[in-house]
Amino acid sequence: MSDKVQDFNPNVVDEIRTVFDAGKEIDRIDIEDLFIAIDYWRRGQQDEHQLAIALINSEHLSFLKYQMQSARTMNTALEMKDQLNNYVFGLVGEVGEVVDLLKKFFYHGHEIDKQKLKGELGDILWYVAAIATLFELDLQDIALCNVEKLSRRYPNGFDSQASANRKE
């Protein structure tokens, strides 16, 4: 057993479980401690292992749950091409709403209304989810592919030179 596993504080497990069981969002988890915990759990503590699985899956479920709930409000009475047309125009319109908020911030001296911005970004997310659902794509997979692409483009984080010289 590694020193890190031997020195692992099992209270971390209880703290994670308390937050998770309460249905609250986990604001910040020390990733190193979480991986130590997973290693510890893999060594025979089944309840803690199941908690780790639930924590990992909870992120996937949040995308899945959002996509499933948003799909309930899609206009499925329309043919696929008409739905797509509706969602693309809706998406462009919502992007325009965000651009208008930002334009007023940059050029008209307005403060950003974060609640309005959040609502408009939520509308954009709905249209993205609708288009993904229409093509039987999973938002989780879309997000993971995007993270992988960005990681390839900027393995050390963004920098201007890497951006100017990127291949993809």
Rounded-to-integer distance, Cα 168 and Cα 166, Å: 6
At residue 162, the pLDDT reads: 82
Q: What does pLDDT average to over the chain?
A: 80
- Domain spans, the chain: 3-64, 74-164
Is the pTM higher than 0.85?
A: no
Tell me the C-alpha to C-alpha distance, in Å, between residue 32 and each of 12, 21, 37: 11, 22, 8
Q: When comparing pLDDT for 81 and 16, which is higher?
A: 81
CATH of 74-164, picked from 3.20.20.150, 1.10.287.1080, 3.30.1280.10, 3.40.630.30, is 1.10.287.1080
Tens-digit pLDDT profile for residues 102-159: 999 999 999 999 999 999 999 999 999 999 999 999 998 899 899 899 888 888 888 8
HSE value, Cβ hemisphere, 13 Å, CA-based, for 118: 3
